[in-house]
Amino acid sequence: MSKQTVRDLDVKGKKVLVRVDFNVPQAKDGEVADDRRIRAALPTLNDILGRGGSLILVSHLGRPTGDPAKDEPFRLNKVAEKLSELIGKPVKKVNDTVGPEAEAAAKQLAPGGILVLENVRFNKGEKKGDVEFAKKLAGLADAYVNDAFGTCHRDEASMVAVPEQFPTGHRAIGFLVEKELQILDTLLANPKSPYVAVMGGAKVSDKILVIENLLKKVDKLLVGGAMTYTFLRAQGHSVGNSRVEADKLDVAKHVLELAGPKLVLPVDHLIADKPAAGAETKVVDGPTIPEGWFGMDIGPKTIELYSQVIKDAGTVVWNGPMGMFEVEAFAKGTKAVAQAMADSSAVTAVGGGESAEAVEKFGLAEKVSHVSTGGGAFLESLEGKSFNSLKVIPERG
């Protein structure tokens, strides 16, 4: 069964409350540094506008503290400006989420109009899942659409309590969430083989549940990033000054035993005398890193090996960079994985966070099957978890 989507709603002349994920990276001056999440919401927003509806948009931004001065950078003014630029229509922004200003603006909203409410986390009722707050927010609109996959794993008011205030026939997911669920279904329920997972990043402990769940399904698990050195240390190898989760060696041993030959570790490494730009670097073969050196990226033999495995795959899911890709000298491994996925004829999914940032940086985001907008939500989905925010959206009849 599939969830009711925005296309199932009659939106003509209706005000639609859309929970979007406009939690975008910001530059020091508060400008939007990366508008990918705003662009990802445009198909849903344009669909509602094109069918005669109006938009009331709800999002969070950053982690407000409750201190007005400190929270000033988290106002959605710049986000509303960027949305107006991208959607090509005027956007009205108000300075509260619920209250007189929001109510007045919502009441005056004509078909085709766009209203952005203030950062929903400025109201304490959001994090608490407060029902009274949810009733006020829901009272602004006629229907509700969840198009914020990046927040689907949260039980916050705008994700769960707000849609519960609408009749079931007036709740739906947007196109962005629909696409995320479709790709997750492919990855978890119906992957084409060979099925390859590529896991990078710093910590084995952050990925343990994902790895355990994926090992039941994948044919190969290619490992990169700093987590490599925790696995190598767990095997008894010396890894020099490389980053290791010393208190998680038992977890790494458990994963190695569970995975057997499915888990593939780098066969060579790019190492550096310091984990920073301008470092002296060299490549070493085998599992040992010399004392005083840091493992910073997968080496050229590993790049060739991983690229071939990805090329021959039917399905590939990737989460976590192969090295410190923000520094050019340590970016080759991550770039090569991104390129291999772009060149592959497999279903290729990039799982949010730094991996998504990397494919954007290397100009390859449009050449993979899917780039998730949700880091935590994507990982928790791969762990096999279900979300209350989606349980409150009815299945299609």
**Which residue ranges make up the annotated binding site for ATP?**
207, 295, 326, 352-355
Bin 280: left if φ > 0, else alpha if -120 < ψ < 50, else beta.
Answer: beta
Which residue out of 201, 240, 353, 375 is catalytically annotated?
353
Please confirm, yes or no, whether 376 is among the known catalytic residues.
Answer: yes
Binding residues: 21-23, 37, 60-63, 121, 154, 207, 295, 326, 352-355
- Catalytic site residue 314? no
Options 15, 37, 93, 220, the catalytic residue:
37
- Residue 51 is a catalytic residue: no
Q: Residue 333 is encoded by which pair of tokens?
A: 């491994």
**What is the four-CA torsion angle of 298, 299, 305, 307, rounded to 10 degrees?**
70
Query: What is the enclosing helix (H) or strand (E) of 348?
Result: strand 347-350
Q: Which of 51, 203, 311, 361 is catalytic?
A: 203
Residue 113 CA: distances (Å) to CA of 61, 109, 142, 203, 231: 22, 6, 14, 45, 54
Task: Name residue 149's amino acid.
Answer: F
Binding residues for (2R)-3-phosphoglycerate: 37, 121, 154
Q: What angle do CA 369, 17, 39 make, to 5 degrees?
A: 30
Cβ atoms of 164 and 35 within 8 Å: the answer is no
The reply to whether 28 belongs to the active site is no
CB within 8 Å of 327: residues ≥ 6 apart: 276, 277, 296
Length of the chain: 397
Record the tokens describing residue 212, joined without a space.
Answer: 């355990």
Catalytic residue IDs: 37, 203, 353, 376
